[in-house]
A and B are shown apart, each in its own frame.
Chain A
Amino acid sequence: DTGVSQDPRHKITKRGQNVTFRCDPISEHNRLYWYRQTLGQGPEFLTYFQNEAQLEKSRLLSDRFSAERPKGSFSTLEIQRTEQGDSAMYLCASSVGLTNEQFFGPGTRLTVL
């Protein structure tokens, strides 16, 4: 069991550039979540997938953000035209079945200059 993995672990980009993050959940976990965490705050829910279907999206997820989970396995989160306010830790979590216990990845730290 390799746990939830995220790639890259760190990303530094210039304002206006596009970035894409990848999350590989625990195999056979059908539920996948994306969160954003800024300094001194708890994780903020962004979006939720059940298998390949994106079932929930937070109003925090502006139209510059898009997430996919094409085959119900790994997921990508893309941010277009990055802004300095997008600088944060982006966390991915997965779970299985009816349990609410989520397993988190180590996160991708994004810095927008």
Chain B
Amino acid sequence: DQQVKQNSPSLSVQEGRISILNCDYTNSMFDYFLWYKKYPAEGPTFLISISSIKDKNEDGRFTVFLNKSAKHLSLHIVPSQPGDSAVYFCAASTGNQFYFGTGTSLTVIP
């Protein structure tokens, strides 16, 4: 059973515009959410996280929004840059177990 879902396998955005990546989850016990970025032949790299007690966390060009009632989180990248092109995974945790989505491949077009 997929507890964390990323329903968009791919996304293309023009350089300078906003990229919005979405993630849905089913387990209301999740208390921490994270976004990772992955380049080919490398392991995932941590981007940004948010605790379930917050609804927004911002770090530079990256902002994560959490809507607990909808069990939905999103990652906003503004402005998007070609170097942002990668696969983005959302993850959720309860205790010491982490559950990852299937990833969204972002392409930022120069």
| A residues lining the B interface (CB < 8 Å) | 4, 31, 33, 35, 40-45, 48, 50, 55-56, 58, 91, 93, 100-107
Within 8 A of A (CB), among B15-71: 32, 34, 36, 41-46, 49
Bound together, the chains give a CA A38 to CA B6 distance in angstroms of 16
B-side interface residues, number (CB < 8 Å): 24
Closest 4 CB pairs of A and B: A104-B43, A42-B100, A48-B96, A101-B46
A45 contacts B43, CB within 8 Å? no
- A43-B89, A100-B34 are contacts. A58–B44 as well, Cβ < 8 Å? no
Cβ < 8 Å to A, chain B residues 93-109: 93, 95-103
13 additional contacts (CB under 8 A) given A42-B4, A91-B43: A4-B43, A42-B91, A42-B100, A44-B100, A48-B97, A50-B96, A56-B95, A100-B32, A101-B46, A101-B49, A102-B98, A104-B45, A106-B41
The answer to whether B43 touches A107, judged by C-beta atoms less than 8 angstroms apart, is yes
- Closest B residue, CB atoms, query A56: B96
In the complex, chain A residues whose CB is within 8 Å of the CB of B36: 104
B42/A45 in contact, CB under 8 A:
no
Given contacts A93-B43, A100-B49, A106-B41, contact A45 B97 (CB under 8 A): yes
Most buried by B among A48, A50, A101: A101
**Contact indicator B102/A41 (Cβ below 8 Å):** yes
B43 touches A55 (CB 8 A): no
B93 cross-chain contacts in A, Cβ below 8 A: 100
A103 nearest in chain B by CB position: B46
Task: Give, as a whole number of angstroms, the nearest-CB distance from A104 to chain B.
Answer: 3
Q: How far is the CB of B32 from chain A (nearest CB, A)?
A: 5
Minimum CB distance partner of B5 in chain A = A42
A26 to chain B, nearest CB (A): 12
